[in-house]
Amino acid sequence: MTRFKKKVQSLLTAEAKLLHDLGLKPNHISGAGILLAFLAGCTYWVGRDNSISLILAPMLLLISGLFDALDGVIARTYGETTAFGGFLDSLLDRYADSFVFVGIIVSGIVNIHWGLAALVGSLIVSYVRARAEATGVKLEAIGLAERAERIIIITLASFFSFFWIEAFNWGLIILAVLTNLTVLHRTFYFYREVKQRC
């Protein structure tokens, strides 16, 4: 999925140019992305009373994910990458994930235990990568549940749940399992890499 993500990012050059020509900076795009994720979370929250929300929320989530890709493309294309920008992007991604998962959990659409397990797993996947890369061990593309995969699973579960509400619960169960397996995979990978350096 990481290779596919990079291919998509290379296809977003024209959109990045348009946004850059409008005077938008990567941090502006990141801000728009977090706002859309917040709106997606709120839309999921009211989804229990309005099935249309189960179509609107994943659309907002997908656009948020698109903005998350675009801010990086703009930064790299126009030489606007900064240490703080990378830090802020990663921080906002965690808030975006939290907004969406909390919205889903409090909506009552899914089992709260599986929802919490998926939320915790998602946050720890990102933490493990950040912690490992701080020591020089790259973890990109290690594991099955990076952010792009999580967005796709939530989106598919949302669309299927429009016809069969239990699909959402199964989507969260899959996420809970995959995210925590990814944490284990990354932990063992990091252990092997560090062991080889000794």
Rounded to a whole number, what is the distance in angstroms from the first to the last CA of the chain? 31
What is d(CA 107, CA 44) in angstroms, rounded to the nearest whole number?
Answer: 6
Cβ atoms within 10 A of the Cβ of 1, count?
13
For residue 15, give every residue at least 6 positions away whose Cβ sits within 8 Å of its Cβ, in sequence order, or none. Answer: 70, 73
What is d(CA 111, CA 125) in angstroms, rounded to the nearest whole number?
Answer: 21
Q: What are phi and psi of 50, to 5 degrees?
A: -150, 105
State both tokens at 29: 């795009």
For residue 90, give every residue at least 6 positions away whose Cβ sits within 8 Å of its Cβ, in sequence order, or none. Answer: 126, 130
What is d(CA 101, CA 70) in angstroms, rounded to the nearest whole number?
Answer: 23
Catalytic residue among 68, 71, 93, 97: 93
Has 97 been annotated as catalytic?
A: no
What is d(CA 95, CA 37) in angstroms, rounded to the nearest whole number?
Answer: 9
Residue burial 135-166, b: 16+ Cβ < 10 Å; e: rest:
eebebeebbebbbbbbbebbbebbbbbbeeee
Q: Write out the catalytic residue numbers.
A: 93
